[in-house]
Amino acid sequence: MGGADSDVSPSGRLRLPAQLLLGFIAGAVYTLAFAPFHYWPLTFASVATLFLLLSRAEERMLLIAWVFGLGKYGVGVSWIYVSIHQYGGVSPLLAGFMVAVFVAFMALFCLPMGWFLGKLKALDHNISNPVLAMAFVATWVLMEWMLTWFLTGFPWLFAGHSMLGTPLQGYAPVIGTLGISLVVVTITVAAMLSADSAQTSIVRLGMSGVVLVLVGLGFSLDRQVWTKPTGRYGAALVQGNIDQAIKWDADQRLINVRKHMQLSEEHWDADVLIWPEFALTLYGQDAVMVTDLLNRRGDVSHTNVVVGMPDVHWQDQERYQVFNSAQGFGRASGKFAKHHLVPFGDYVPLQDYLRGLIEFFDLPMSNASRGARNQTNIVLTLSGQDQAVEVATGICYEIAYGDSLRRQAETSGLLLTISNDTWFGRSIGPHQHMQIAQMRALENGRWLLRATNNGASGIVNPRGEITAELPQFEANVLRGEFEVMKGRTPYSKLGDIPALFLLTVLLVVTVTRSRRTNFSQETKP
């Protein structure tokens, strides 16, 4: 009567409480596959556990999938608590509640897996049927694709991100991170079916072949070079390490400028000098005085200067728009305004009702306007280049949107992201953020410069490898080299179209096979 037997039904299946506990643990462990832990085999283990639970469940499959999501996001994005409580001035209890609501909502994106497999199992009760496997792969990828756009999107903790540094990363320049996720989940379920004695020898042999082909192709693609360098240059990335609690104080803003200027003083010989997101927190004439100085210093030293700062557009004497922008000075020109705004960070939904309720809804720059979807790139003037070099830019969270950056990178020779991860303290959030940025470099076959307020600032090569990096929470300047690249990867040309095509094929085949199964069952005498 006691012990493990209480968690097992008379049929030998796990009871619902045990299924839910195992699902939650699988979701929580999934986080360890990503930075800063990098235990990437846990991606396969977590995905396999979820598939096993869903394929063997008799009921409550929606609940199992949702609980997996609770574990995944409850641990994986726990860093949101830091920004809400520590910098948003919200009490621990209320901050915990707000994070819990967010996690519960994000977990809903896992429901399609439970719903679709439940519908199929109503037609076919074969536990490890390949149809269920295809359905699981399709709905996992569908979940991640929806996370790239639904309600502004939250493309975080994709299975593909965890494959950085493994042979499977070779798929990134071809089919992108979403495509890697498809490959990872396919390998997982194929390996499970190949080891399932309940399957026919043909199915087991076929699934083993799928695993070998996908892994082998990954090794081959990882050795492929898609783009070529056209010149090597020096970069200086300024990491000011300004405390977020005082960054926007009126009496602190000029002090912040002086600190960045002092850090930059010995680095005007660099080809490119980068200040991070909102390094300047000045408006009006004060901002003009600083930008004029940056222009003069950049021109004299022949330096391309890019600075993160607010960009104010006055509509009349009372109305104005503020954009979170990166702007070029000296030999650099142009500007880029952040397009993908973060709810409650860059803007407040329903602000007429929410502003003033708690301090978190009145954070600095939480009234930013959205930059245009299609913008001209910032341009660098670099010696040895036949023409000016365009820079594809992502500000902070925007770097998570692979397809958006890809569009900018079509005509660029370099990637740039500026960020301020101070909001997330010493949590795992900034490390995950850096890992995502590395994938963008790999997808596009471009070098990437990442300048942040408090780290980790780094230089990433086209293979997604960090070639130079500053420690977090240190005021310093990172010196390093990068190369301007030409040529395009297949992903930079086609984006997510190949991955979405494969997703559609899987869904069509799954539905077709399930209907055939249902028809054959109905026509049996």
Contact yes or no for 259/240 (Cβ under 8 A): yes
Per the DSSP assignment, residues forming a β-bridge with 347 are 343
Residue of 410, 396, 378, 98 lying closest to 227 (CA atoms) = 410
Q: Rounded distance, CA 294 to CA 272, Å?
A: 13
Which pair of structure tokens corresponds to residue 512?
């077709």
Active centre residues (catalytic): 277, 338, 396
Q: Rounded distance, CA 23 to CA 64, Å?
A: 6
Residue of 79, 84, 73 lying closest to 156 (CA atoms) = 73
Q: Rounded distance, CA 271 to CA 94, Å?
A: 47
Query: Among all chains, which residue has been given the structure tokens 């990828």?
Result: 141
Contact yes or no for 73/24 (Cβ under 8 A): no
Q: Rounded distance, CA 469 to CA 120, Å?
A: 49
Which pair of structure tokens corresponds to residue 70?
């609770």
- Please state the φ and ψ torsions of residue 103, each to the nearest 5 degrees: -65, -45
For helices 172-194 and 201-222, angle between their N-to-C axes, nearest 10 degrees: 150
Query: Residue 153: which residues within 8 A CB-CB, separation 6 or more?
Result: 147, 340, 401
